Structure 1
């Protein structure tokens, strides 16, 4: 029999589910089963579960036809579990590295009915908040087990299903199931402790309990929070059925009920003002009904006052107490906000007058026809915003598109494109009055989100490296980042453009805000899909590339933690490995400002083409792409041409910058770990071999399925015309635009 089954229900947690499953399956424990239950999730949870089940036999995928809710989904997982022990882990939480071997050792060594494990709360700012386990057990019992009557303080631990591992036969014999509704942990967690004869404690943090910024029940207002009292009613009815054996513990359970319900009532994010008296009245009724005959230990201090007000049914007094608590909290928040405002005023300095002009323009009406575009911190006309701009000009001619550019980039704009120069009064006026603001990065911090305006975040690549809030765990790659400001910026977004399901999942996790995801493909890739053979020949001709030349484009990414680092790369030796018709083009990351090539100048056999725009023309011209962790590989894969991952610093990059997936394990083609290996990949033919071709096919299926040449149109219709998103067009695999005969 398997030692441990971990049941993972999943519903609307696509941004977190991979981290959850990786945290389990990546640990050195084989005596394990993961029962992953897709609770009819409308996002990609089901596909993620199937993906993991296909590659790891320890994962059992279960799909529910209709949404059952967390409690019933756990029951389904319990019924499918074959482990001696069952652990219920929520799909948005994750395990601490290397905790599973310690859990397995303790289970085997002590054979408890219930093993309690420690946890930390993880806020969206990655700040860990410890549990009360150290307070409850200042002298941990080690490998000793105990019944609850000997250590009733165990009831003070958070009443969740995921901080306790339960012997399956004990649970089945007890006949305990999770109920429907919210707060379903309550009538599970307390009875398992009350009924257990052998309780163990592993005083080691095992679970990271994610405090989600959005989407969590604990941060959702509504009348369903009244169900907390219903769940406590179930606990006391269960107690009534257990006889006098549990009577000595009734008073402790009762105190926990009052404490928990007051926590729910006092949380303004859960109970709306009009529901608070209703909740209080329900709590008073439950208090009166279930009060133990001998009373219970009422806490001292302010907490005890709250208990006494419930006992007396004094809602007006309790309401006044809640108001005082909120007033103190609001005063503290106001004090924290003053300092940034003062600092911002001082920082503006000579720009203060322009900022005052911007504020004045905010008081004027929004221009209902103005769409403002920007890309790469005002570096010019490029990327997804450029493709959307072109589509909008065709489909929504009533929209006036204006670009923001730096003064030194004005000359790079195509003829006829209207623009404003960053920093000018026209720039501030456009930012204040535009109805639509479209960017592939964020607009400056001072920009206000006006009611009626629409902010579109297009992003500029499928993420390999971690982004947004996830960078908090990798400080070397996040130097200088202010994550509080980042949250304020993403709160301005109305739409987030996604090229594929994987990107949607990662953006949801890295940028938690209330925007709408438009998973439509990348507008900038439309040109790669629709390019004809004649356009490919013309792109090559503009670079002086002949029909028989074999061209390798080398496009590495930037290393934020090592800004001066360049991977070992000898373009002359690579050109020699390609043969007499070989050419090597090199393009730097956009963080490095690039010199534009001289018009009409042919590109040499080895050339730096960093200043050649648009980059899509280089993709069309190249036979092979060599890259590392850059999003360029996802775009280039649309062409279905060979790609080589050249990653000589993969392990260092993964540890310092963080990655969402391993491009060396799931590559779009051949992989080289050093320059000698890169040369050999070309000399041996591995670049175009069967293994590389199969890898590219899998990569394209995962990341390029939405690229049908109409992504920009889908965005333009949804954003500017308020039309529903059109379906992706089925298209045949076009294959390479021409023979890639590179050896």
Structure 2
């Protein structure tokens, strides 16, 4: 019999689910099974579970036809378990490395009904908060097992399903199930402890409890938090059916109930201000209804005062106490900020005047027909915003589109495109008044999110390297990044455009916020799908390329952690390997070309240079259409170019160093879009031998396209416009 059965429900946790599953399957102890339950999730969670089940016999995937909620989904998983012990782990949490061997050893030595394990809370910024384990058990119990009435302080450990392993036969005999609704752990975790004859405690952190910025019910405001009362009713009904066996525990359970109610009420992200008086009244009623005849051990200090105010039904006093405490905290924060603010206020000048102008414009109504577009920190007209702009001109002509560009990039704009210069008075006006703001990077920090304004983050590539919050794990590539500021920018997003399910998962974990993901394909790739042979010939002609030239585009990415680094590369040697018709286009990353000026593209009469520097070319899509082969390393160019179904070569001479220092989401050597090499001589051999477009490379490209390019059908920009500008849901 398997020792431990994990039940992992999944609903809107696709960004974290793989990390959860890997943390279980990657343990040195493998006598486990995972029952993954897709609770009819609208994201890719079900596909992730199915993929793991196909690759690992220890994983079993279950898809539900309807969304039943966390508790019933756990019940479905429980019914399919076959292990001696059951561990319910949520799909957005993950196990601590190497913990399972110790857990298994304790289970086998002591055979508890319930084994409580320690956990930590992990915030988005990596900060870790310990649980109450050390306070509840200052002296760890060791391998001793006990009943709850012998150690009632165990009730003060967090009442979740995921910090305890439960003997399955004990649970089945008890007949206990998870109830539907929010706070489902309450009516499960407390009865489990009260019924257990043998409770063990493992004083070791085994689970990382992710403190999500968005999506968790603890950060969702609404009246469903009133469901906590019914969950506690279930606890007391269960106790009433077992009188007098559990009567001695009633005072301690009552104290936990009041503590929990006050915790929910005190969390400003859960109970809206207008609902708090009613919630408080419910607590008062529950206090009177459930108060044990002999009283209960009320806490000391301020917490005890809260209990007394609840008992007396004194909402106004309770509310005033809470407001005074919040005011003290706010005053402390303001004092700490005061001096820097004063110093900044002294820096008057043109920027300050423009900021005041911007603030004044914010007080004016939104322009209901104005959309603002920008790309690559105002470098010009490009990428997904350009594709969306063109689709909006066609489908929503009533919307006036205005581009923001740097002064030195004005000449790069196509004729007829309206623009404002970054930093100008007009720039501040359109940022303040626009109803839609579309960008492939973030707008500056001073830009405020206005009610009614829609911010669209298009991104600018499917990520190979880690991004956003995930960069915290790779500090070499995150020098100077302020992650708190980054998240404040992300909080402005209403929509995040995603090219594929993989990108959606990575963006949601790298940039956690309350935006809506539009997984529609990449608008900038529409042109690659719809381009005609005539258009391709015209592009090649403008670049000075003949019809029979074999054109290779070399487009390496930027190494921000290694300024000045260039991969070993000899253009002339590569051209020699291509043969007499070989032509090489070289395009460096835009971070390496901040100060370049647009240069005219070479034309048919500009000579027959074998190597062309196309770093200044404004539309990278032209270069994709012109090229017969792409050579790149970790650039998102490979995902775009794959739409064309032409050969791709991954040339990654610093793969191991890059993977360890910068961090990657995708193992390009294991899942490449074509042929792969880690040396320049190897790159030459790929072309000389014909391996670039041989069957193995073609097969790899087909798998890659199926995974990453399925949505690129030429209509991605239209889908974005219809959703963002017209509100169409499909």
**For the superposition of Structure 1 and Structure 2, which TM-score range results when normalised by the shorter chain?**
over 0.9
Contact 1:714–1:725, Cα closer than 8 Å, also in 2: no
Deviations 1:416-461 (A, max 9, x none): 2222222222222222233322211111111122333322221111
Residues 398/240 of structure 1: CA separation in 2 closer, same or farther (3 Å cut): closer
In the TM superposition, residue 160 of structure 1 has moved relative to its aligned partner by 0.6
Does residue 687 in structure 1 map to residue 692 in structure 2? yes
Partner of 1:417: 417
* Match of residue 703 from structure 1: 708
Instruction: State how far apart, in whole Å, the 2-side matches of 1:590 and 1:462 are.
Output: 16
1:531-584 CA distance string (max 9 Å, x none)? 112222222232233333322222121122223222233333333333333333
> Out of 616, 619, 625, which is 1:620 matched to?
625
Match of 1:90 in 2: 90
TM-score (norm 2): 0.94
**CA RMSD after TM alignment:** 2.4
| 2:634 equivalent in structure 1 | 629
Q: Return the offset for 1:725.
A: 5.2
1:546 counterpart SS class: coil
| Alignment correspondent of 1:650 | 655
Q: CA 1:449/1:104 → structure 2, altered by over 3 Å: closer, same or farther?
A: same
Secondary structure of 2:630's partner?
Answer: strand
Q: Which runs of 5+ in 2 are unaligned?
A: none
Match of 1:729 in 2: none
Distance 1:688 1:447, change over 3 A: same
1:561-710 to 2 correspondences below 5 Å: 561-593=561-593, 594=596, 596-599=598-601, 600=603, 601-602=606-607, 604-710=609-715
Separation in 2 of the partners of 1:110 and 1:645?
Answer: 53
Judge conservation of contact 1:542–1:602 (CA < 8 Å) in 2: no
Match of 1:297 in 2: 297
For residue 525 of structure 1, report the CA deviation from its aligned partner.
0.6
CA gap 1:195/1:125 in 2 versus in 1, 3 angstroms: same
Per the alignment, residue 737 of structure 1 pairs with: none
- Select between 308-317 and 477-486 the one with higher mean Cα deviation: 308-317
1:6 aligns with 2:11: no
After TM superposition, the structure 1 = structure 2 runs for residues 708-723 of structure 1, keeping only pairs within 5 Å, are 708-720=713-725, 722-723=726-727
**For 1:110-159, what per-residue CA distance to the aligned partner results, in whole angstroms no more than 9, with x for missing partners?**
33222222211122333222111122223323344333334332221111
SS for the counterpart of 2:121 is: strand
Per the TM alignment, residue 398 of structure 1 is displaced from its structure 2 partner at its CA by: 2.7
Give, in whole Å, the separation in 2 of the partners of 1:602 and 1:253. Answer: 86
Question: Equivalences for 1:420-569 in 2 at 5 Å?
Answer: 420-569=420-569
Residue 734 of structure 1 aligns with which residue? none
Q: What does residue range 33-432 of structure 1 map to in structure 2 within 5 Å?
A: 33-335=33-335, 338=338, 341-342=341-342, 344-345=344-345, 349-432=349-432
State whether residues 215 and 514 of structure 2, in contact with CA within 8 Å, keep that contact through their aligned partners in structure 1. Answer: no
Q: TM-score, normalised by structure 1?
A: 0.92
Distance across 1 between alignment mates of 2:236 and 2:619 = 69
Give the stretch that moved more between structures: 113-122 or 681-690. Answer: 681-690
Say if 1:434 and 1:623 are closer, same or farther in 2 by CA, change over 3 A.
Answer: same
Quick one: distance in 1 between partners of 2:97 and 2:564?
Answer: 32
155-164 vs 127-136, which moves further: 127-136
Structure 2 counterpart SS, 1:17: helix
How many residues were matched structurally? 725
Q: Cα distance, 1:465 vs. partner?
A: 2.0
Is contact 1:499-1:520 (8 Å) kept? Answer: yes
Q: Rate the CA distance shift 1:228–1:343 in 2: closer, same or farther, 3 A.
A: farther
Q: Can you list the C-alpha shifts for 1:571-620, whole angstroms capped at 9, x where unaligned?
A: 33333333333333221111111464454335632333212231111111
CA, structure 1 residues 277+596, in 2 after alignment: closer, same or farther (shift >3 Å)? Answer: closer
Question: 1: distance between equivalents of 2:274 and 2:364?
Answer: 36
1:245 deviates by 4.0
